[in-house]
């Protein structure tokens, strides 16, 4: 087990992990009045423009998705649902940050993120990606206990990562970087190959991390792309369990 993974596991068990009061974190308050005025919160078509980078690079990307979120959401009041998502999204974001990852965006109940230090297959960045997925999987019980203490449903989620060429993109309505490319699409698709609270990776990532000694990769049912053979997918576990 790497030092960073051990430190993160200690952090997840600390009181600081569920503290979201950092003054550097900006909380945008949406009022009912604002929600009633579409012109204030909804950009027109001409307001949304995109600009792509002129070059592509390879990165590790990750995707974490709540299991049975639709059923859970239907059973919670708006205030409880907000609290539920706040704990999930903030907890995942904090773990990602501990491994030098960057959240790209949340897509409903999912988070898409990447590891800038994995650029073009940097071994340090590849290890960060794998360690982050393992830390997320291990954090599930602690986060679920926090949910139950607030009378919220237990949390289950799936984690997936892959590696490949992406193109960076900016939009006119946000300063944040977005990514597009086959590895981003595949990372989202193979997420359902994971069991609850499991971490899986695609074959492209497995080929560049398979020589790292700290991990064990077990092949699971692959993702059907409509070709002759499915895309191989692997469950990841630490070799030092």
Beta bridge partners of 114: 61, 102
Buried residues in 108-135 as b, exposed as e (16+ CB within 10 A):
ebbbbbbbebbeeebeebbbbbbbbbbb
pLDDT value of position 188: 92
Neighbours of 230 (CB within 10 A): 14
Q: Which CATH class is domain 3-7+53-238?
A: alpha beta
pLDDT value of position 43: 45
pLDDT value of position 108: 79
pLDDT value of position 115: 95
Distance of alpha carbon 223 from alpha carbon 225, whole angstroms = 6
**What pTM was computed for the model?**
0.81
pLDDT value of position 46: 53
pLDDT block averages, 10 residues each, the chain of length 241: 77 80 46 41 57 82 93 91 93 95 89 93 93 95 93 94 90 74 92 94 95 89 76 88 57
Phi/psi-derived region of residue 14, left when phi > 0, alpha when psi is between -120 and 50, beta in every other case: beta
Neighbours of 99 (CB within 10 A): 25
């Amino acid at each position: 087990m790497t030092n960073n993974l051990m430190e993160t596991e200690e952090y997840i068990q600390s009181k600081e992990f569920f503290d979201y009061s950092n003054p550097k974190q900006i909380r945008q308050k949406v009022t009912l009045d604002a929600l009633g005025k579409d012109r204030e919160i909804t950009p027109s078509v001409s307001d949304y423009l995109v600009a792509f980078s002129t070059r592509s690079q390879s990165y590790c990307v990750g995707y974490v998705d709540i299991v049975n979120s639709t059923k859970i959401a239907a059973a919670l009041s708006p205030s409880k649902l907000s609290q539920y998502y706040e704990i999930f999204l903030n907890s995942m974001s904090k773990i990602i940050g501990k491994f030098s990852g960057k959240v790209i965006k949340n897509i409903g109940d999912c988070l898409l993120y990447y590891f800038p230090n994995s650029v073009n297959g940097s071994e340090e960045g590849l290890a960060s990606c794998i360690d982050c997925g393992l830390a997320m999987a291990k954090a599930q019980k602690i986060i679920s206990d926090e949910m139950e203490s607030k009378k919220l449903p237990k949390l289950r989620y799936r984690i997936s990562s892959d590696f490949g060429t992406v193109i960076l993109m900016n939009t006119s309505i946000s300063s944040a970087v977005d990514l597009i490319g086959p590895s981003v699409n595949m990372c989202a698709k193979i997420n359902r190959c994971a069991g609850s609270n499991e971490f899986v990776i695609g074959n492209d990532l497995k080929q560049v991390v398979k020589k790292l000694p700290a991990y064990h990769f077990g092949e699971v049912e692959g993702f059907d792309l409509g070709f002759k053979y499915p895309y191989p997918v692997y469950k990841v576990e630490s070799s030092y369990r």
